[in-house]
Amino acid sequence: MVLRARDRQQATIDEMDLYGRAARQSLTHRNPVVVIPGIMGSRLVAGRGARSIWGDFTEAHADPGEAEGIRLLALPMALGRPLDLLAGEGTTDGSLAELRCKFAGIPLKRRVYADVLEAMGVAGYQEIAMVERPEALPEEAADASAFEFDYDWRRSIDENAIRLQRWLKQLARFLRRNRPHREPLRFDVVAHSMGGLLLRYFLQYGGQLLPYDGSLPRPSWEGAAVIETAVLMGTPNGGSAQAIERLVGGMGFGGILPTYDPTVLGTMPSLYQLLPRARHGVVRHGETGAPLDPFDLETWVAMGWGLADPAAATMLERLLPGVDSPGERRRVALDHLQKCLAGAAALHRALDGEPPGRPPHLGLHLFVGDTLPTAAEVALSPGRREVRITRRTPGDGVVTRASALLDERLGRPWTPRLLTPLRFDSVTFVPGNHLGITRDRTAIDNVLFLLLERPRGDEA
């Protein structure tokens, strides 16, 4: 094999093992690391180790073209029942390091979060998937320094914050049992995409559920008590136009993976929580160009989007086999839609600012993609599933630079200085696409510096 000059230079740099010595420190001298993937970044199975719902499409999996497969993937709907009390099918089975599928009968693999998990495993980091019972972890986990948090990405972010709180408490108990000292234990967390929103909510509100009445949760910074460094990579702090594309037009993968109907995706509260803000004018009427409020139920009914689409009657019959009439099924669907929209709007109010009381030890660092044209404005016409991109701005192909920064200059007279309610300790701009941010060598080096070499506290 012939190495080009740049390849030889990179190989030499790799051999230098920049962070190996720092990574080999025991947890006596540094914090354990947790990696949180983004939406669709955790495997879902129907029973642990059983039929795949999401992540492995090589053998028997939940087929969204069949009624049983649809009900496995979709979350349940029930008139008047709160979203957190609607238990769906399936359980998580680790982060999605690789997505597996078949094309023309040929098995294929695509690396998803393998790169960032391996990066956290450089010279001493180990990938250990935490389980609900820490006492059941293998013996070698006692020496682990990095862990992955998988979660049901279909569910509301505040629900997953409750699970994250419980999981971190269990993990902390396990690690303390194996540490030679009793100093306070804090984690460093690397979160991608929607995982960053989950992390931000947990930092500010701990394991609180969003109130049913639409009011804000009480800011406690409870999550920050156990986290020292929070790294957000490609996080849509201001939402993403891709969310409205999927909720209105569905999701396809060019024949390699199954196609998912927008009615099925519309049962998932998390997707609505990724919608762009109405005040930023991202979603527009296809004929008039007027801005549309994506959190208003009447907008969805008038435009015929997702669960409010009259053409969704057949899919609703599959999703709601116990509901007899088409009219009643539509009532259930619109009720579910209203709850999802209200929950998303409440989450945005909770996250579109930083409440007082942030602990001084907490470091918040943002990695942003800004080299790819990214949908910043889309147009939709009534009764059509087509989403037309009318304006693009720099981003990572999914999340615009402005969204990651929660840039409030959108829709206002331009000013040279960034206007954002969020307070980041550092912002790093990275080339590449949305998932590529987690693979970029420069980004990974900067993350490892933050976690392993940067002086902290009295060391600074």
Higher pLDDT, 184 or 425: 425
- pLDDT tens digits, one per residue of 357-377: 999 999 999 999 999 999 999
User: Does residue 11 register a pLDDT over 60?
Assistant: no
Please state whether 138 falls in left (phi above 0), alpha (psi between -120 and 50) or beta: beta
Mean of all residue pLDDT scores within the chain: 86
CA distances to 9, 227, 440 from 3, in Å: 9, 42, 20
Q: What is the mean pLDDT of residues 242-258?
A: 86
Q: List all residues 6 or more positions away from 129 whose beta carbon is below 8 Å from its beta carbon.
A: 94, 95, 147, 148, 150
What per-residue confidence (pLDDT) applies to 459? Answer: 54
Query: How far apart, in whole angstroms, are the C-alpha atoms of residue 153 and residue 195?
Result: 9
Q: What is the mean pLDDT of residues 180-198?
A: 88
Query: How far apart, in whole angstroms, are the C-alpha atoms of residue 317 and residue 325?
Result: 9
Query: How far apart, in whole angstroms, are the C-alpha atoms of residue 121 and residue 53?
Result: 28
Q: What is the mean pLDDT of residues 228-246?
A: 97
- pLDDT tens digits, one per residue of 344-354: 999 999 999 99
What per-residue confidence (pLDDT) applies to 6? Answer: 44
What per-residue confidence (pLDDT) applies to 5? Answer: 41
CA distances to 79, 261, 275, 373, 393 from 389, in Å: 35, 20, 15, 11, 11
Sheet holding 91-95, edge to edge: 51-54, 42-46, 91-95
Check if the beta carbon of residue 44 is closer than 8 Å to that of residue 152: yes
Q: What is the mean pLDDT of residues 118-133?
A: 47
Higher pLDDT, 146 or 266: 266
User: Does residue 45 register a pLDDT over 70?
Assistant: yes
Q: Counting runs of H as helices and runs of E as strands, what totals does the chain give? A: 14, 15
Query: How far apart, in whole angstroms, are the C-alpha atoms of residue 236 and residue 285?
Result: 23
Sheet holding 372-380, edge to edge: 283-285, 372-380, 387-395
pLDDT band at residue 144 under the 50/70/90 scheme? low
Tokens linked to 307: 């669960």
pLDDT band at residue 15 under the 50/70/90 scheme? very low
- pLDDT tens digits, one per residue of 69-113: 899 999 999 999 999 999 888 888 888 777 776 555 565 666 667
Closest CA to 34 of 126, 99, 139: 126
Higher pLDDT, 49 or 381: 381
Check if the beta carbon of residue 393 is closer than 8 Å to that of residue 376: yes
pLDDT band at residue 140 under the 50/70/90 scheme? low
Cα of 40 vs its chain's centroid, Å: 8
CATH among 3.60.90.10, 3.30.230.10, 1.10.10.60, 3.40.50.1820 for 31-242+352-459: 3.40.50.1820
Query: How far apart, in whole angstroms, are the C-alpha atoms of residue 124 and residue 360?
Result: 29
Ranges 21-30, 44-53, 173-182, 332-341: which has the least confidence: 21-30
3-class secondary-structure state, position 281? coil
What per-residue confidence (pLDDT) applies to 254? Answer: 64
Percentage of the chain modeled with pLDDT above 70: 82
What per-residue confidence (pLDDT) applies to 2? Answer: 37
